[in-house]
Amino acid sequence: MDQPRALLFDVFGTVVDWRTSVAREVAPFLAEHAPGTDPADFAHAWRRRYQPAMEAVRSGARPFTRLDILHRENLEAVLRDHGIDPAALAEPVLDHLNKAWHRLDPWPDSVEGLRRLKTRFIIAPLSNGNIALMLNVAKRAGLPWDAILGAEVARAYKPSPAAYLNTAEILGLAPAECMLVAAHNNDLAAARRVGFRTAFVPRPREYGPHQDKDFGPDQDWDFVAADFPALADALGCGPA
Amino acid sequence: MDQPRALLFDVFGTVVDWRTSVAREVAPFLAEHAPGTDPADFAHAWRRRYQPAMEAVRSGARPFTRLDILHRENLEAVLRDHGIDPAALAEPVLDHLNKAWHRLDPWPDSVEGLRRLKTRFIIAPLSNGNIALMLNVAKRAGLPWDAILGAEVARAYKPSPAAYLNTAEILGLAPAECMLVAAHNNDLAAARRVGFRTAFVPRPREYGPHQDKDFGPDQDWDFVAADFPALADALGCGPA
Protein backbone atom coordinates (compact mmCIF):
# COMPACT_ATOMS: atom_id res chain seq x y z
CA MET A 1 0.00 0.00 0.00
CA ASP A 2 1.25 3.43 -0.98
CA GLN A 3 1.44 5.26 2.32
CA PRO A 4 3.05 8.47 3.55
CA ARG A 5 6.26 8.34 5.56
CA ALA A 6 5.54 11.21 7.95
CA LEU A 7 2.35 12.45 9.58
CA LEU A 8 2.54 16.15 10.43
CA PHE A 9 -0.08 17.47 12.81
CA ASP A 10 -1.78 20.75 13.28
CA VAL A 11 -1.88 21.09 17.06
CA PHE A 12 -4.08 23.97 18.33
CA GLY A 13 -7.57 22.53 18.03
CA THR A 14 -6.49 19.30 16.32
CA VAL A 15 -4.37 17.67 19.04
CA VAL A 16 -5.14 19.90 22.03
CA ASP A 17 -8.19 21.74 23.33
CA TRP A 18 -6.72 25.24 23.61
CA ARG A 19 -10.01 26.95 24.46
CA THR A 20 -10.95 25.20 27.67
CA SER A 21 -7.28 24.88 28.69
CA VAL A 22 -6.52 28.59 28.33
CA ALA A 23 -9.82 29.44 30.04
CA ARG A 24 -8.86 27.24 33.00
CA GLU A 25 -5.38 28.79 33.18
CA VAL A 26 -6.56 32.42 33.14
CA ALA A 27 -9.59 31.96 35.41
CA PRO A 28 -7.86 32.65 38.77
CA PHE A 29 -6.25 35.83 37.40
CA LEU A 30 -9.53 37.09 35.95
CA ALA A 31 -11.42 36.37 39.17
CA GLU A 32 -9.02 38.73 40.91
CA HIS A 33 -8.45 41.43 38.27
CA ALA A 34 -11.61 41.42 36.13
CA PRO A 35 -14.41 39.78 38.10
CA GLY A 36 -17.35 38.83 35.94
CA THR A 37 -15.22 38.18 32.83
CA ASP A 38 -15.94 34.76 31.36
CA PRO A 39 -12.59 32.94 31.04
CA ALA A 40 -13.67 31.20 27.83
CA ASP A 41 -14.57 34.56 26.30
CA PHE A 42 -11.16 35.90 27.32
CA ALA A 43 -9.47 32.88 25.70
CA HIS A 44 -11.49 33.44 22.56
CA ALA A 45 -10.60 37.16 22.46
CA TRP A 46 -6.91 36.28 22.84
CA ARG A 47 -7.15 33.72 20.05
CA ARG A 48 -8.90 36.20 17.71
CA ARG A 49 -5.67 38.20 17.58
CA TYR A 50 -3.65 35.13 16.51
CA GLN A 51 -4.13 35.22 12.72
CA PRO A 52 -3.66 39.02 12.35
CA ALA A 53 -0.40 38.84 14.34
CA MET A 54 0.99 36.07 12.11
CA GLU A 55 -0.23 37.88 9.00
CA ALA A 56 2.35 40.62 9.65
CA VAL A 57 5.03 37.93 9.35
CA ARG A 58 3.43 36.16 6.39
CA SER A 59 3.12 39.42 4.46
CA GLY A 60 6.78 40.24 5.02
CA ALA A 61 5.99 43.35 7.06
CA ARG A 62 7.75 41.80 10.04
CA PRO A 63 10.65 39.32 10.27
CA PHE A 64 9.86 35.86 11.60
CA THR A 65 8.91 36.20 15.25
CA ARG A 66 8.12 33.17 17.37
CA LEU A 67 4.61 32.64 18.66
CA ASP A 68 5.45 33.11 22.36
CA ILE A 69 6.27 36.74 21.51
CA LEU A 70 3.13 37.25 19.42
CA HIS A 71 1.04 35.67 22.18
CA ARG A 72 2.56 38.08 24.70
CA GLU A 73 1.82 41.13 22.57
CA ASN A 74 -1.72 39.89 22.03
CA LEU A 75 -2.16 39.18 25.73
CA GLU A 76 -1.25 42.75 26.63
CA ALA A 77 -3.74 44.07 24.07
CA VAL A 78 -6.53 41.81 25.37
CA LEU A 79 -5.79 42.82 28.95
CA ARG A 80 -6.15 46.48 27.96
CA ASP A 81 -9.43 45.63 26.20
CA HIS A 82 -10.60 44.29 29.56
CA GLY A 83 -9.57 47.45 31.42
CA ILE A 84 -6.38 45.93 32.86
CA ASP A 85 -3.08 47.81 32.46
CA PRO A 86 -0.40 45.18 31.78
CA ALA A 87 2.33 47.64 32.83
CA ALA A 88 0.87 47.52 36.34
CA LEU A 89 1.34 43.73 36.57
CA ALA A 90 4.51 41.97 37.75
CA GLU A 91 6.53 40.30 34.98
CA PRO A 92 6.17 36.79 36.47
CA VAL A 93 2.37 37.24 36.47
CA LEU A 94 2.35 38.20 32.79
CA ASP A 95 4.77 35.44 31.89
CA HIS A 96 2.72 32.83 33.73
CA LEU A 97 -0.44 34.01 31.94
CA ASN A 98 1.33 33.92 28.58
CA LYS A 99 2.57 30.40 29.25
CA ALA A 100 -1.04 29.25 29.56
CA TRP A 101 -0.39 28.15 25.95
CA HIS A 102 2.33 25.80 27.26
CA ARG A 103 -0.22 24.02 29.47
CA LEU A 104 -2.83 22.84 26.99
CA ASP A 105 -4.63 19.54 27.48
CA PRO A 106 -4.94 17.03 24.64
CA TRP A 107 -8.32 15.84 23.40
CA PRO A 108 -9.12 12.53 25.16
CA ASP A 109 -8.17 10.38 22.14
CA SER A 110 -4.99 12.21 21.11
CA VAL A 111 -2.31 10.39 23.12
CA GLU A 112 -3.59 6.89 22.38
CA GLY A 113 -3.97 7.70 18.69
CA LEU A 114 -0.51 9.23 18.39
CA ARG A 115 1.09 6.25 20.14
CA ARG A 116 -0.46 3.92 17.59
CA LEU A 117 0.37 6.13 14.61
CA LYS A 118 3.99 6.38 15.82
CA THR A 119 4.45 2.63 15.33
CA ARG A 120 4.26 3.02 11.53
CA PHE A 121 5.01 6.68 10.78
CA ILE A 122 7.24 9.57 11.74
CA ILE A 123 4.93 11.82 13.77
CA ALA A 124 5.65 15.48 14.45
CA PRO A 125 3.73 18.70 15.00
CA LEU A 126 3.53 21.11 12.09
CA SER A 127 2.08 23.90 14.18
CA ASN A 128 2.50 27.64 14.23
CA GLY A 129 3.45 27.24 17.90
CA ASN A 130 7.15 27.67 18.64
CA ILE A 131 9.47 24.87 19.70
CA ALA A 132 9.46 25.56 23.46
CA LEU A 133 5.67 25.86 23.51
CA MET A 134 5.20 22.58 21.60
CA LEU A 135 7.80 20.80 23.70
CA ASN A 136 6.30 21.94 27.00
CA VAL A 137 2.78 20.98 25.89
CA ALA A 138 4.05 17.57 24.77
CA LYS A 139 6.07 16.90 27.91
CA ARG A 140 3.11 17.78 30.16
CA ALA A 141 0.51 15.93 28.10
CA GLY A 142 2.60 12.91 27.09
CA LEU A 143 2.42 13.53 23.33
CA PRO A 144 4.99 11.07 21.90
CA TRP A 145 6.38 13.16 19.01
CA ASP A 146 9.43 11.92 17.11
CA ALA A 147 10.55 15.54 16.59
CA ILE A 148 9.25 19.06 17.14
CA LEU A 149 8.83 20.65 13.74
CA GLY A 150 6.64 23.57 12.66
CA ALA A 151 6.78 27.29 12.00
CA GLU A 152 9.88 28.08 14.06
CA VAL A 153 11.91 25.33 12.38
CA ALA A 154 10.57 26.16 8.90
CA ARG A 155 10.81 29.93 9.56
CA ALA A 156 7.36 30.43 8.04
CA TYR A 157 3.80 30.48 9.36
CA LYS A 158 1.07 28.30 7.93
CA PRO A 159 -0.68 28.56 5.56
CA SER A 160 2.33 29.99 3.70
CA PRO A 161 3.60 27.30 1.29
CA ALA A 162 7.08 27.50 2.82
CA ALA A 163 5.77 26.22 6.16
CA TYR A 164 4.86 22.90 4.55
CA LEU A 165 7.57 22.69 1.89
CA ASN A 166 10.44 23.54 4.23
CA THR A 167 9.19 20.92 6.67
CA ALA A 168 9.23 18.21 4.00
CA GLU A 169 12.69 19.30 2.84
CA ILE A 170 14.05 19.24 6.41
CA LEU A 171 12.72 15.68 6.76
CA GLY A 172 14.41 14.71 3.50
CA LEU A 173 11.02 13.73 2.08
CA ALA A 174 9.00 14.65 -0.99
CA PRO A 175 5.78 16.54 -0.20
CA ALA A 176 3.76 13.48 -1.29
CA GLU A 177 5.52 11.45 1.42
CA CYS A 178 4.08 13.83 4.04
CA MET A 179 0.48 13.94 5.27
CA LEU A 180 -0.99 16.83 7.21
CA VAL A 181 -3.52 15.85 9.88
CA ALA A 182 -5.75 18.78 10.81
CA ALA A 183 -9.20 19.78 12.02
CA HIS A 184 -9.16 22.83 9.74
CA ASN A 185 -10.08 22.69 6.07
CA ASN A 186 -8.04 25.79 5.17
CA ASP A 187 -4.85 24.26 6.59
CA LEU A 188 -5.44 21.05 4.62
CA ALA A 189 -6.17 23.05 1.45
CA ALA A 190 -2.83 24.87 1.74
CA ALA A 191 -1.01 21.58 2.37
CA ARG A 192 -2.69 19.91 -0.60
CA ARG A 193 -1.75 22.81 -2.90
CA VAL A 194 1.95 22.06 -2.30
CA GLY A 195 1.57 18.30 -2.72
CA PHE A 196 1.01 17.01 0.82
CA ARG A 197 -1.50 14.29 1.49
CA THR A 198 -4.32 15.24 3.79
CA ALA A 199 -6.30 13.79 6.69
CA PHE A 200 -9.24 15.58 8.28
CA VAL A 201 -10.21 14.88 11.88
CA PRO A 202 -13.16 17.05 12.94
CA ARG A 203 -13.01 18.76 16.31
CA PRO A 204 -16.51 20.29 16.42
CA ARG A 205 -16.11 21.56 20.00
CA GLU A 206 -12.87 23.48 19.41
CA TYR A 207 -14.54 26.91 19.44
CA GLY A 208 -17.44 25.97 21.72
CA PRO A 209 -20.45 28.22 21.04
CA HIS A 210 -18.33 30.26 18.60
CA GLN A 211 -17.70 27.35 16.20
CA ASP A 212 -19.05 28.25 12.77
CA LYS A 213 -17.02 26.01 10.42
CA ASP A 214 -14.95 22.82 10.12
CA PHE A 215 -17.79 20.58 11.24
CA GLY A 216 -17.01 18.37 8.27
CA PRO A 217 -14.72 18.06 5.25
CA ASP A 218 -14.92 20.74 2.54
CA GLN A 219 -12.95 18.64 0.03
CA ASP A 220 -12.31 14.99 -0.68
CA TRP A 221 -9.38 14.78 1.71
CA ASP A 222 -7.34 11.57 1.45
CA PHE A 223 -8.60 10.46 4.84
CA VAL A 224 -11.49 11.59 7.02
CA ALA A 225 -11.55 10.03 10.48
CA ALA A 226 -13.67 10.70 13.56
CA ASP A 227 -10.65 10.81 15.87
CA PHE A 228 -6.99 9.76 16.03
CA PRO A 229 -7.61 6.07 16.84
CA ALA A 230 -9.98 5.93 13.86
CA LEU A 231 -7.20 7.44 11.70
CA ALA A 232 -4.81 4.79 13.08
CA ASP A 233 -7.32 2.11 12.08
CA ALA A 234 -7.67 3.59 8.60
CA LEU A 235 -3.87 3.63 8.20
CA GLY A 236 -3.50 0.02 9.32
CA CYS A 237 -1.85 0.69 12.69
CA GLY A 238 -2.21 -1.95 15.36
CA PRO A 239 -1.94 -1.31 19.09
CA ALA A 240 0.91 0.83 20.42
CA MET B 1 18.53 20.45 44.78
CA ASP B 2 19.48 22.93 42.10
CA GLN B 3 19.23 20.95 38.87
CA PRO B 4 19.17 21.78 35.17
CA ARG B 5 15.87 21.72 33.28
CA ALA B 6 17.18 20.33 29.99
CA LEU B 7 19.85 17.77 29.15
CA LEU B 8 21.31 18.31 25.70
CA PHE B 9 23.34 15.45 24.25
CA ASP B 10 26.21 15.22 21.89
CA VAL B 11 25.27 12.21 19.76
CA PHE B 12 28.10 10.96 17.48
CA GLY B 13 30.27 9.00 19.89
CA THR B 14 28.32 9.92 23.01
CA VAL B 15 24.93 8.30 22.29
CA VAL B 16 25.74 6.20 19.25
CA ASP B 17 28.72 4.15 18.07
CA TRP B 18 29.20 5.75 14.65
CA ARG B 19 32.45 3.91 13.87
CA THR B 20 31.31 0.30 13.95
CA SER B 21 27.88 1.24 12.56
CA VAL B 22 29.27 3.06 9.51
CA ALA B 23 31.80 0.27 9.00
CA ARG B 24 28.99 -2.30 8.99
CA GLU B 25 26.92 -0.22 6.56
CA VAL B 26 29.72 0.34 4.01
CA ALA B 27 31.21 -3.18 4.20
CA PRO B 28 29.11 -4.79 1.41
CA PHE B 29 29.85 -1.89 -0.95
CA LEU B 30 33.58 -2.01 -0.23
CA ALA B 31 33.72 -5.79 -0.68
CA GLU B 32 32.44 -5.23 -4.21
CA HIS B 33 34.18 -1.99 -5.23
CA ALA B 34 37.39 -1.87 -3.17
CA PRO B 35 38.17 -5.38 -1.96
CA GLY B 36 40.74 -5.42 0.82
CA THR B 37 39.69 -2.03 2.23
CA ASP B 38 38.99 -2.26 5.96
CA PRO B 39 35.48 -0.86 6.52
CA ALA B 40 36.48 0.64 9.89
CA ASP B 41 39.38 2.45 8.23
CA PHE B 42 37.00 3.76 5.57
CA ALA B 43 34.62 5.01 8.30
CA HIS B 44 37.53 6.68 10.04
CA ALA B 45 38.72 8.34 6.81
CA TRP B 46 35.18 9.64 6.18
CA ARG B 47 34.96 10.99 9.72
CA ARG B 48 38.34 12.74 9.44
CA ARG B 49 36.80 15.11 6.88
CA TYR B 50 33.97 16.06 9.28
CA GLN B 51 35.59 18.88 11.24
CA PRO B 52 37.24 20.58 8.22
CA ALA B 53 33.90 20.58 6.35
CA MET B 54 32.09 22.24 9.26
CA GLU B 55 34.95 24.68 9.74
CA ALA B 56 34.07 26.30 6.40
CA VAL B 57 30.65 27.09 7.87
CA ARG B 58 31.95 28.11 11.29
CA SER B 59 34.46 30.50 9.73
CA GLY B 60 31.75 32.17 7.68
CA ALA B 61 33.34 31.08 4.37
CA ARG B 62 30.19 29.10 3.57
CA PRO B 63 26.54 29.62 4.54
CA PHE B 64 25.00 27.10 6.91
CA THR B 65 24.80 23.75 5.11
CA ARG B 66 23.24 20.71 6.74
CA LEU B 67 25.41 17.73 7.61
CA ASP B 68 23.80 15.33 5.11
CA ILE B 69 25.24 17.53 2.37
CA LEU B 70 28.68 17.79 3.97
CA HIS B 71 28.69 14.03 4.52
CA ARG B 72 27.91 13.49 0.84
CA GLU B 73 30.71 15.76 -0.33
CA ASN B 74 33.08 14.02 2.07
CA LEU B 75 31.92 10.60 0.91
CA GLU B 76 32.71 11.43 -2.70
CA ALA B 77 36.18 12.63 -1.69
CA VAL B 78 36.88 9.49 0.34
CA LEU B 79 35.67 7.28 -2.51
CA ARG B 80 38.11 9.02 -4.85
CA ASP B 81 40.85 8.52 -2.24
CA HIS B 82 40.08 4.80 -2.49
CA GLY B 83 40.25 4.78 -6.27
CA ILE B 84 36.49 4.77 -6.80
CA ASP B 85 34.91 7.34 -9.13
CA PRO B 86 31.63 8.47 -7.50
CA ALA B 87 30.36 9.73 -10.87
CA ALA B 88 30.37 6.14 -12.08
CA LEU B 89 28.01 5.03 -9.28
CA ALA B 90 24.22 5.16 -9.43
CA GLU B 91 22.62 7.90 -7.35
CA PRO B 92 20.65 5.44 -5.15
CA VAL B 93 23.93 3.66 -4.33
CA LEU B 94 25.58 6.91 -3.26
CA ASP B 95 22.51 8.02 -1.31
CA HIS B 96 22.27 4.69 0.50
CA LEU B 97 25.96 4.89 1.42
CA ASN B 98 25.56 8.47 2.63
CA LYS B 99 22.58 7.49 4.76
CA ALA B 100 24.81 5.05 6.65
CA TRP B 101 24.85 7.95 9.14
CA HIS B 102 21.06 7.57 9.54
CA ARG B 103 21.52 3.95 10.66
CA LEU B 104 23.80 4.26 13.66
CA ASP B 105 23.43 1.95 16.64
CA PRO B 106 23.30 3.31 20.19
CA TRP B 107 25.80 2.24 22.82
CA PRO B 108 24.22 -0.59 24.87
CA ASP B 109 23.32 1.68 27.81
CA SER B 110 22.00 4.67 25.85
CA VAL B 111 18.31 3.86 25.48
CA GLU B 112 17.80 2.73 29.08
CA GLY B 113 19.66 5.76 30.40
CA LEU B 114 17.75 8.22 28.22
CA ARG B 115 14.42 6.72 29.26
CA ARG B 116 15.28 7.27 32.91
CA LEU B 117 16.66 10.78 32.35
CA LYS B 118 13.50 11.72 30.41
CA THR B 119 11.38 11.21 33.53
CA ARG B 120 12.92 14.29 35.17
CA PHE B 121 14.41 16.38 32.38
CA ILE B 122 13.79 17.62 28.87
CA ILE B 123 16.14 15.50 26.75
CA ALA B 124 17.21 16.42 23.23
CA PRO B 125 20.20 15.99 20.95
CA LEU B 126 22.51 18.97 20.54
CA SER B 127 24.42 17.41 17.69
CA ASN B 128 25.97 18.71 14.52
CA GLY B 129 23.83 16.13 12.72
CA ASN B 130 20.85 17.52 10.84
CA ILE B 131 17.23 16.99 11.84
CA ALA B 132 16.42 14.16 9.40
CA LEU B 133 19.60 12.30 10.31
CA MET B 134 18.92 12.60 14.06
CA LEU B 135 15.26 11.67 13.65
CA ASN B 136 16.02 8.60 11.54
CA VAL B 137 18.70 7.42 13.96
CA ALA B 138 16.31 7.93 16.89
CA LYS B 139 13.36 6.21 15.22
CA ARG B 140 15.47 3.18 14.30
CA ALA B 141 17.29 2.95 17.65
CA GLY B 142 14.39 3.91 19.94
CA LEU B 143 16.03 7.03 21.36
CA PRO B 144 13.17 8.72 23.26
CA TRP B 145 14.02 12.40 22.59
CA ASP B 146 11.54 15.11 23.59
CA ALA B 147 12.63 17.18 20.59
CA ILE B 148 15.28 17.17 17.87
CA LEU B 149 17.50 20.19 18.44
CA GLY B 150 21.07 20.84 17.30
CA ALA B 151 23.03 22.57 14.59
CA GLU B 152 20.31 22.72 11.93
CA VAL B 153 17.81 24.27 14.37
CA ALA B 154 20.39 26.65 15.87
CA ARG B 155 21.90 27.39 12.42
CA ALA B 156 25.41 27.02 13.85
CA TYR B 157 27.88 24.18 14.26
CA LYS B 158 29.42 23.27 17.59
CA PRO B 159 31.70 24.38 19.10
CA SER B 160 30.58 27.85 17.96
CA PRO B 161 28.97 29.61 20.95
CA ALA B 162 25.77 30.20 18.93
CA ALA B 163 25.14 26.45 18.69
CA TYR B 164 24.70 26.28 22.47
CA LEU B 165 23.24 29.73 23.12
CA ASN B 166 20.63 29.58 20.36
CA THR B 167 19.54 26.16 21.64
CA ALA B 168 18.98 27.51 25.16
CA GLU B 169 17.12 30.52 23.79
CA ILE B 170 14.88 28.32 21.61
CA LEU B 171 14.04 26.28 24.72
CA GLY B 172 13.21 29.47 26.62
CA LEU B 173 15.89 28.60 29.16
CA ALA B 174 18.93 30.32 30.60
CA PRO B 175 22.23 28.63 29.67
CA ALA B 176 22.64 27.56 33.33
CA GLU B 177 19.35 25.64 33.06
CA CYS B 178 20.90 23.52 30.29
CA MET B 179 23.46 20.76 30.70
CA LEU B 180 25.50 19.30 27.85
CA VAL B 181 26.20 15.58 28.10
CA ALA B 182 29.17 14.59 25.98
CA ALA B 183 32.08 12.18 25.64
CA HIS B 184 34.31 14.97 24.30
CA ASN B 185 36.14 17.41 26.54
CA ASN B 186 36.34 20.12 23.85
CA ASP B 187 32.56 20.14 23.37
CA LEU B 188 32.02 20.44 27.13
CA ALA B 189 34.61 23.23 27.35
CA ALA B 190 32.77 25.25 24.70
CA ALA B 191 29.44 24.67 26.45
CA ARG B 192 30.87 25.69 29.81
CA ARG B 193 32.29 28.91 28.34
CA VAL B 194 28.75 30.08 27.49
CA GLY B 195 27.28 29.06 30.86
CA PHE B 196 25.98 25.54 30.28
CA ARG B 197 26.41 22.90 32.92
CA THR B 198 28.44 19.89 31.90
CA ALA B 199 28.39 16.11 32.24
CA PHE B 200 31.15 13.88 30.91
CA VAL B 201 30.45 10.27 29.97
CA PRO B 202 33.59 8.57 28.61
CA ARG B 203 33.28 6.46 25.49
CA PRO B 204 36.82 5.07 25.30
CA ARG B 205 36.04 2.77 22.36
CA GLU B 206 34.59 5.48 20.10
CA TYR B 207 37.66 5.65 17.84
CA GLY B 208 38.79 2.05 18.36
CA PRO B 209 42.55 1.76 17.82
CA HIS B 210 42.67 5.44 16.73
CA GLN B 211 41.43 6.79 20.09
CA ASP B 212 44.03 9.17 21.52
CA LYS B 213 42.02 11.40 23.87
CA ASP B 214 38.83 11.72 25.93
CA PHE B 215 39.63 8.68 28.06
CA GLY B 216 38.82 10.81 31.09
CA PRO B 217 37.76 14.30 32.13
CA ASP B 218 40.14 17.21 31.39
CA GLN B 219 38.28 19.58 33.73
CA ASP B 220 36.13 19.39 36.85
CA TRP B 221 32.90 18.86 34.90
CA ASP B 222 29.71 19.14 36.97
CA PHE B 223 29.12 15.42 36.56
CA VAL B 224 31.34 12.55 35.46
CA ALA B 225 29.51 9.24 35.01
CA ALA B 226 30.59 5.89 33.57
CA ASP B 227 27.50 5.60 31.38
CA PHE B 228 23.96 7.01 31.00
CA PRO B 229 22.35 4.91 33.77
CA ALA B 230 25.10 6.09 36.12
CA LEU B 231 24.30 9.67 35.12
CA ALA B 232 20.62 8.98 35.80
CA ASP B 233 21.60 7.69 39.25
CA ALA B 234 23.71 10.79 39.92
CA LEU B 235 20.81 13.05 38.92
CA GLY B 236 18.32 11.22 41.14
CA CYS B 237 16.29 9.55 38.39
CA GLY B 238 14.40 6.39 39.30
CA PRO B 239 13.35 3.70 36.83
CA ALA B 240 11.70 4.75 33.56
B226/A contact by beta carbon, under 8 A: no
Other residues' Cβ atoms within 10 Å of the Cβ of residue A200 = 25
Which tens digit of pLDDT belongs to each residue from A64-109? Answer: 999 999 999 999 999 999 999 999 999 999 999 999 999 999 999 9
Half-sphere exposure of B182 (CA within 13 A, CB side): 29
Residue A2 confidence (pLDDT): 82
| Range(s) of the domain holding residue B49 | 18-102
Q: How far is A132 from chain B (nearest CA, A)?
A: 5
Contact B148 A147 (CB under 8 A): yes
Q: What is the CATH number of the domain that holds A34?
A: 1.10.150.240
Residue B2 confidence (pLDDT): 82
Pick the residue of A8, A131, A133, A173 with the most B CBs within 10 A to test the interface with B by mutation.
A131
User: Three-state DSSP class for A20?
Assistant: helix
Residue A35 confidence (pLDDT): 94
**Bridge partners of B150?**
B127
Residue that finishes a domain, picked among B70, B102, B134: B102
- Tell me: cis bond preceding B229? Omega within 30 of 0 counts: no
Q: What is the mean pLDDT of residues A193-204?
A: 98
In a shared domain, residues A94 and A126 = no
Contacts of residue B25, defined as CB under 8 A and 6 or more positions apart, other chains included, come to B97, B100, B103
Whether residue B190 is contained in a domain is answered as yes
Query: Is residue A1 predicted with pLDDT exceeding 70?
Result: no
Global ipTM:
0.96
Whether residue B24 is contained in a domain is answered as yes
Which tens digit of pLDDT belongs to each residue from B52-71? Answer: 999 999 999 999 999 999 99
Which tens digit of pLDDT belongs to each residue from B184-233? Answer: 999 999 999 999 999 999 999 999 999 999 999 999 999 999 999 999 99
Whether residue A1 is contained in a domain is answered as no
In a shared domain, residues B138 and B96 = no
